[in-house]
Structure 1
């Protein structure tokens, strides 16, 4: 009988001493993580203790994924969710042909580069399914650019404010000036991470990875009072388990409810597995 294991990461804040004084305050990321853990438990996944804010360090996330890789075998499934800020560092191993930037998860003590994540996925056995949900920004766009993209009416409706300078507090992206300062200060760390790892596009992954992200790489994800916009929409579409259909259909239904400037992405990596994408979400 297959095993389902889930790991949930949510950060409402980061350590200011590690991010040049920036604490990255958000409202809903811990709740996102707890809600996803609750859904996984109802679906009979074995739920690991959610990694929330100060507990969500790079070492803790890496250790949790390494432990999962040692435990799961062919036919098993890992559900991995992240809710928090997204960031970027310069791409040194040339796997990003567009913006030349590697996306990151902004963890409590440092950024986890996507090349690291794909290396960890490479440790899972052939036949393991990995379903990843990332409610974060994967964009270099800073909050102050948004008023140029959205009308005043849409800005107010989307972020429940008529003050553009408040938008940054409700966007899950590390501001560009902070990204620049952190990279300059810790460049040796992030450069070494990339130099010692295979580019993510070349990483050998025998497991089948299915990602549904909160937005496209060139977009931003909105925070919220209770849940992030993507996670809240996810929960609405899931409708307490009444949703019927495949992962692809689930993604399409989420898309229908999202604003045009935040378009969740469906992405596959590793070993192709058509049967996986045809399954109903949360199927063990």
Structure 2
């Protein structure tokens, strides 16, 4: 896109990710947001460097440009700003498992906006994977099979919060029209059209394949950096290789309902007396 903004853009990897220098989110213009949004659709995750002075008000206002901001039901929030979740390594805020945020909801979030405010001396990077590329790298017969399946996503946190949703294994992005793989190791329990053994084997293959290095980028944070990722087409992983404190403030933008091809088969029904295990819950209590 053509823009008069004096911003510098650097690609983070060949797979995904773009870093922007020269935009201040405290004084974000419509033109600046349009540039960020365009780069997000092209590169799936955008990093805005040097936002050390970002105010909570500007953080929330930035999130609302994408859509409705979530008031999270159970994670700690910034005092006076219920839209902002506090991610603190001292309180279990370490999720070293590949995942897409909150796929256990019927309408998972479309984006997350994380502001890193404190970092350890070394380590604490985050990785993302491009699920467009994952899907496109699968063989044609595999893509054909997956296009006709759904998956169950689930979380349970003690007795306080439980959520379960069924989504297409391959979803179509509502803005780009591209297809991407939409399962993740943390929240996807099983594929209900298959036997459990078939589902386990296929999902493990898809999880491992989607985590392959050629589909990823790795970002080395500096205090004050902001990351915005498209939750509809990425997974991410917080690298737990550090000592000391790592703190961030995150806003989640509420989602749309994932769409794809309708399932081509009914849910598998076990024969009488045949065991079919209940939902598998891999989710950790803090993520």
Q: TM-score, normalising length from structure 2?
A: 0.25
* Greater strand proportion: 2
* Greater helix proportion: 1
Larger Rg: 2
